[in-house]
Structure 1
Amino acid sequence: MKKLFLIIGAPGSGKTTDAELIAAKYETITHYSTGDMFRAEVASGSKRGELIDSFISKGKIVPIDIAIETILGAIKRTSTDVVIIDGYPRSGEQMTELDKYLAQEDEVELVNVIEVKVSKETAFQRVLGRAADAQVVRADDNEEVFLNRMKLYIDPLEEIQSFYTKKNLLKVISGERSIEEIVNEMDNFIQSKI
Structure 2
Amino acid sequence: MGSVLDAECTEPGTKVTVIFVLGGPGSGKGTQCANIVRHFGYTHLSAGDLLRAEIKSGSKNGTMIQSIIKEGKIVPSEVTVKLLQHAMQESENDKFLIDGFPRNEENRETFESVTGIAPNFVLFFDCPEDEMEKRLLSRNQGREDDNIETIKKRFKVYLESSLPVIAHYSSKGKLKKIDAAKPVDAVFEDVKAIFNSTSEKVASEEFQHLQDSTSS
1:59-138 mapped onto 2 (5 Å cutoff): 61-102=74-115, 105=116, 108-130=117-139, 133=140, 136-138=141-143
Matched residue, 1:15: 29
Q: Which amino acid in 2 is paired with 1:185?
A: D
- Preserved contact between residue 58 and residue 140 of structure 1 (Cα < 8 Å): no
Q: 2:151 aligns with which of 132, 146, 149?
A: 146
Cα gap change, 1:98 to 1:168, in 2 (>3 Å) = same
Q: Give 3-state SS (helix, strand or coil) of 2:119's partner.
A: strand
Q: Could you say which structure has the greater relative contact order, defined with CA pairs below 8 angstroms and 6 or more residues apart?
A: 1
Q: Which amino acid in 2 is paired with 1:169?
A: K
Q: Give 3-state SS (helix, strand or coil) of 1:100's partner.
A: helix
Q: Give 3-state SS (helix, strand or coil) of 1:12's partner.
A: coil
RMSD: 2.5
Distance across 2 between alignment mates of 1:61 and 1:137: 25
Q: TM-score, normalised by structure 2?
A: 0.74
The alignment status of 1:167 with 2:172, answered yes or no, reads yes
Which 5+ residue runs of structure 1 have no aligned equivalent?
A: none
Distance across 2 between alignment mates of 1:71 and 1:59: 22
Matched residue, 1:178: 183
CA deviations on 1:107-131 (whole Å, 9 max, x unpaired) are x45100111001111111222222x
- Greater share of strand: 1
Alpha-carbon shift at residue 162 of structure 1 (Å): 2.1
Which 5+ residue runs of structure 2 have no aligned equivalent?
A: 1-14, 200-216
Alpha-carbon shift at residue 144 of structure 1 (Å): 3.4
Distance across 2 between alignment mates of 1:122 and 1:60: 30
Q: How many equivalent residue pairs?
A: 185
Q: Which amino acid in 1 is paired with 2:26?
A: G
Distance across 2 between alignment mates of 1:72 and 1:122: 34
CA deviations on 1:121-176 (whole Å, 9 max, x unpaired) are 1111222222xx1xx33344333332222112101333212211222111110100
Distance across 1 between alignment mates of 2:181 and 2:68: 29
Q: Give 3-state SS (helix, strand or coil) of 1:21's partner.
A: helix
Q: TM-score, normalised by structure 1?
A: 0.82
Distance across 2 between alignment mates of 1:148 and 1:60: 16
Distance across 2 between alignment mates of 1:92 and 1:38: 19
Cα gap change, 1:169 to 1:60, in 2 (>3 Å) = farther
CA deviations on 1:76-132 (whole Å, 9 max, x unpaired) are 222122111110111111122223235xx3xx45100111001111111222222xx
Aligned-pair identity (%):
30
Distance across 1 between alignment mates of 2:32 and 2:71: 26
